[in-house]
Amino acid sequence: MAGARHGVESTGPAWRRLRLALVAFALIATALFTAASIADRDTTLAQGRAAAENAAALLAETAESALRIAELTSANVADLVERNGLDALRDRSWPDLSALDTLAHEVGAIWVADATGRLVASSLRPDPPSLDLGQEECFVAVANGAGEHLARLDLSPETRVWNFGWMRPLRSEGRFIGAVHAAIHVDQFSRVLERLALGPAAEVRLLRADGAVLLRWPVPPHPPVPPETPRRGTSGFAEEAGPDGRARLVAWRAALSVPATAVVAVSEDDVLAPFRRRLLRNGLLFCLSFALAGSLGAAALRAGRREADAIRTTVERGAALAEALSDRLHLLASLQEGEARLRLAQQSGGIGLWDLDLETARIALAGDVFGHWGLPGAEQRGFRSLPVRALLRAIHPDDRGVLVAALSDAVSHGAPLDVEFRLAGVLPPRWIGAKAEGRAAGEARPRRLLGIARDVTAERAAQRAMEEARLTLERRVAERTGALAEANARLREGEARFRGLFNATFQFIGLLSPDGTVLEANAAMLRLGDVTPVEVIGEPYWAARWWPQDAATQAELREAIAEAASGRFVRRETRMRDAAGQAVTVDFSVTPVRGEDGLVSLLVAEARDVSALKAAQALLHEAQKMDTLGQLTGGVAHDFNNLLMAVLANLGIARRRAEVAAPDLLRHLDAATQAAERGATLTQRLLAFARRQDLKPMPVDLRALLLGVEALLRRSAGPLVTLELDAPEDLSPALVDPHALELALVNLTVNARDAMPEGGRIGVRIAQVDGPAPGRLPAGRWLTVAVSDEGGGMDEATLSRAVEPFFTTKAAGQGTGLGLSMVHGLAAQSGGALVLDSAPGRGTTATLWLPASNRLPVPAPSQEADAPMPGRGAVLVVDDEPLVLESTAAMLEELGYEPVPAESAEAALALLDARRDVTAVLTDHAMPGMTGAALAARLRLDHPGLPVILATGYAGGGQEEPGGPPRLAKPYSLAQLSTVLSGAMARAAE
């Protein structure tokens, strides 16, 4: 029994360890399989991207070669027309076209048309029965003055062949007489595109710079072929969704010397097809392995009680494994001996072996010659495995496309690989020849390519020497003939480039003779005057339609041309006019051009439209002026508020004490208080203009507000004026400070009354506008409040200064010049605008534009102040202005509080550390160093629960926020100070 228990105890932990090992094996195997699948998918996508990019590069190089040959062919035809004439092609010169077509294999057909687009001659035999190019986009472009033009993809109705090509205009003495079109058949690219083997859902396109399609494969079912979005940059790659909604890998490459871009789109499903097959195969193997492992584990568990037999079996398997290991070592020694013999053969013959795995896109290199050639991994010996992309970077860029095309042909069609290429960064160039054949491994397409590589530089050099010897004789014969043709081509190319730049610029440019006769005028100048070249060429420059014909302008132009003809550069600002007769401000200059003899032979007249720039400069100047005035008035008003604070505080204290001690002084004190309050109103107007008044915008019912102040407005208008109110119902609320709006309405009513000293009618109208708004206000929902009068109105000069502070047209002592400034500041700070409409004899309408609110209107808070309430406790007063600090302390004493003065925030913090009996803090906001808002934030952390009140003359500290310190606007009265203090202490006590 003891032995049995010992056996159970010895086998029990083994079973548990085995179960844990099986679970760990399952988790690790699943994780490794998932990671390997993800890495395999990423590698497959990277291979698809590389294939798309290489295909785009190959297509761009092929298209560039074909288009350049088409361009040269069309130039040769143009020379043929220039020598023989266009009519001669109808009779005897078509064999020359056929010869040119035969020499240029890339060109499928050559068409020559007259100025109307009718066919004159072609390289095809027999000629098509009828061909009219007059409506073709490319023919219309060259007929309208364009130079050489790329013709977009089209299906010829006569030959039923898809083609694109190069069209060149034919001119005689500067007159358009026809065009030659070198057509390239799409079929010429079919073999190259098929060799790329990009998959059944792949698309290949060649785009012009403006997005027009030059080539599309597969070919479209029928014309026309709509343009596409142009691809930016010389090359690029993107993942996009195709017309069927499936993901595609899109790569593009721009041609170097022609305005065309090759675009290759490969279906992601086609790219991932091999990966999915591998995933299915590996998944089945994984499941089988997992099942086998599970079966083995279950068998192991069932055999747990036969541990002794298992150990004996393990020993026997170990012996078998040792025997197998011995056999493997013998085999390894044989392989090493064979590898040594192979390396000796490679070294003697200069041959390297390579093995390309098409599934993983990695290539294995065997042989020391690869290290001698400087390929990646040269420091290793024996076999070196590296990604194909890394090997391609070691190949000369001009030969990568040839190698990729040859590899694609070998993989797609099973053709033997035989290609030669240069190595990058090696001087003199080293040429390598590679040969290989595919190994299918039971599939339709090969999975591996096995081949050899050897140095063929010497062979290439011998071939090149023989070819150069043969071509030298031909070159010497053709040099004299080609020199003249090349000079003519350069002249035509230079003229075409000059013409393109001359007409492409937005500046108005004219070429003049030294006496001012117009020789040339660019397209921009002709469009400005709505004239044709015939109307201006040969005429005096100053007589052109784009110049005003007044005596001053004519004299200025003659003087400028005469000065430039003497050799001096002339520049000045003047005015031109467009075809509609509107004036255009231009920056005008005349530049002399000297010939080889040093004399002025040509004048270049340029003009640049600066009307928008001048208008922008005027707006900037006005904005800077108003901003400067705003800063000045805001600063003055803020300092004046501090002075009024001291005055009103002391007057309030004096009046409370005079009610008992000296009742006769009350009348004088009330008069002084009213004067100080008028000064406070004046500062509010200044702050409104400077956009620094403390506004509290809220949703306001404008109809209710207008009816509420109707009596006040009628008293302000006076008995000689009739006040008409137009306030419709069901208007959206306006987002504005109601008290500031009431003050603005009173100011506008008083201004309207003063504009009609003999009496008249004032209209106040409220409306809702959905849509555009004036100036820079965005379109949307707006509320307008318009106040109009029947007065004398304002001229333009007065209207431009109407909102400036202290500007008034009233007599001395009758106005401050701040009414409209305050309304303007209210509108700007509320997010709206003030629009003035006035003219002499037509009255004035002042319209206040206010933003609409989506919230329900709230009733305006009551302005009635309660009587001052006595208080007690120590109140810390912080202000950097001594007068305000002293007067505030006196007001606190009058209310029964104990004032504790401090001249800065730092001093206040020090006092709080010493005085633990402070019950509240009253601080100014705008102070040097630490501001009042910063002090309040500091006190919330260091002294939580201590009430803090911010006193300020304008909204420089921001609007009062929920949960933040209460605000007290300067100047304030005893009642206001008492109300805010008691409210803050009550909230702190809660």
What are the pLDDT digits (tens) for 482-511? 766 676 677 677 666 766 666 767 788 888
User: Cα–Cα distances in Å, from 94 out to 88, 105, 171, 856?
Assistant: 9, 17, 19, 86
- Tens digits of residue pLDDT in 795-831: 887 777 777 765 666 544 444 445 577 788 778 888 8
**Predicted pLDDT at 634:** 57
For the packed helices 738-754 and 666-689, what is the interaxial angle rounded to 10 degrees?
100
Residue 918, classed as helix, strand or coil, is strand
Angle value at C-alpha 17, between 15 and 22, nearest 5 degrees: 95
- DSSP 8-state class, residue 978: H
Q: Does domain 874-989 have CATH number 3.40.50.2300?
A: yes
Q: Report how many helices (DSSP H) and strands (DSSP E) the chain contains, helices first.
A: 24, 33
For 331-375, where are the E strands, in sequence order?
351-357, 362-366
**What is the pLDDT, as a whole number, of residue 957?**
39
Q: Please give the pLDDT value at position 701.
A: 92
How high is the pLDDT of residue 956? 39
Quick one: which of 196, 211, 229, 213 has its CA closest to 48? 196
Question: What is the predicted pLDDT for the residue at 751?
Answer: 84
Q: Which residue has the higher pLDDT, 848 or 969?
A: 848
Q: Which pLDDT score, from 0 to 100, does residue 441 have?
A: 45
Of the listed ranges 186-190, 283-287, 598-602, the least confidently predicted one is 186-190
Residue 691 has a pLDDT of 45
521-564: pLDDT as tens digits: 888 888 877 888 888 888 888 888 888 888 888 888 889 889 88
24 vs 940: CA distance, rounded Å:
57
| C-alpha distance across the termini of the chain, in Å | 81
Residue-level pLDDT at 12: 55
pLDDT of residue 502: 65
pLDDT band at 765 (very low <50, low <70, confident <90, very high): very high
- Give the residue, 72 or 880, on which the prediction is more confident: 880
Residue 785: per-residue pLDDT:
94
pTM over 0.75: no
Q: Does domain 505-609 have CATH number 3.30.450.20?
A: yes
> What's the pLDDT at 782?
94
Q: Which residue has the higher pLDDT, 192 or 855?
A: 855
Query: Higher-confidence residue: 298 or 750?
Result: 750
Q: Which CATH superfamily is domain 350-455 in?
A: PAS domain (3.30.450.20)
What is the pLDDT, as a whole number, of residue 418? 86
Range in 160-174, 794-808, 847-861, 903-917 the model is least confident about = 794-808
Q: The domain at 46-107+186-270 falls in which architecture?
A: 2-Layer Sandwich (3.30)
What pLDDT was estimated at residue 863?
43
- Give tens-digit pLDDT for 860-885: 544 444 556 677 888 999 988 887 88
**Local confidence band at 7 (pLDDT 50, 70, 90 cut-offs):** very low
- The CA–CA distances, whole Å, from 622 to 162, 617, 803 equal 62, 9, 12
Better-predicted residue by pLDDT, 531 or 256 = 531
Predicted local distance difference test score (pLDDT) of residue 921: 92
- Look-up of token digits 């089209």: 154
708 pLDDT more than 50: yes
Kindly indicate the confidence band of residue 307, based on its pLDDT and cuts at 50, 70 and 90.
low
Strand partners, 877: 901, 922
- pLDDT over 70 (residue 375): yes
Average pLDDT over residues 370-382: 64
Measured distance CA(748)–CA(757) in Å, rounded: 15
Measured CA to CA in angstroms, residue 909 lies from 22, 817, 935, 936, 938 at distances of 70, 44, 8, 11, 9
Residue 6: its pLDDT value, please?
Answer: 42
Q: Cβ-count burial of 285 within 10 angstroms (0-12 exposed, 13-18 middle, 19+ buried)?
A: exposed
Alpha-carbon span 164 to 219, nearest angstrom: 12
Rounded CA separation 889/898 (Å): 8
How high is the pLDDT of residue 98?
A: 67
Determine what percent of the chain is predicted with pLDDT higher than 90. Answer: 7
Q: In whole angstroms, what is the distance from residue 166 CA to residue 183 CA?
A: 7
CA 181, CA 168: separation in Å to the nearest integer? 7
List residues bridging with 509 in a β-sheet: 606
Q: Which residues have C-beta within 8 Å of that of residue 320, sequence separation ≥ 6?
A: none
Query: Mean per-residue pLDDT for 89-101?
Result: 62
Q: Pick the residue with more confidence: 935 or 376?
A: 935
The whole-number pLDDT of residue 902 equals: 92
Instruction: Identify the pLDDT of residue 803.
Output: 73
Ordered by start, the domain boundaries in the chain are 46-107+186-270, 303-342, 350-455, 505-609, 696-858, 874-989
Is domain 696-858 annotated with CATH 3.10.105.10?
Answer: no
In 789-885 the beta strands, taken as DSSP E runs, fall at 833-838, 844-851, 874-878
Residue 100 has pLDDT above 80, yes or no: no
Average pLDDT over residues 65-80: 79
Average pLDDT, integer, range 747-757:
86
The total of other beta-carbon atoms located within 10 Å of residue 691's CB is 20
Average pLDDT, the chain: 76
Coil/strand/helix, residue 197: coil
Q: Which amino acid type is present at position 699?
A: P
Taking only the tens place, the pLDDT of each residue in 927-949 is 888 888 899 889 888 888 889 99
Which is nearest to 388 in space by CA: 61, 57, 50? Answer: 50
Taking 90 as the threshold, does the pLDDT of residue 850 lie above it?
yes
In this prediction, residue 4 carries a pLDDT of 40
Q: How many CB atoms lie within 10 A of CB 136?
A: 19
Query: Is pLDDT at 674 greater than 60 in this prediction?
Result: no
Query: In this model, does residue 675 exceed pLDDT 60?
Result: no
Q: 505-609: same fold as 350-455?
A: yes
Q: CA 769 to CA 781: how far, in whole Å?
A: 6
Q: What is the pLDDT of residue 847?
A: 93
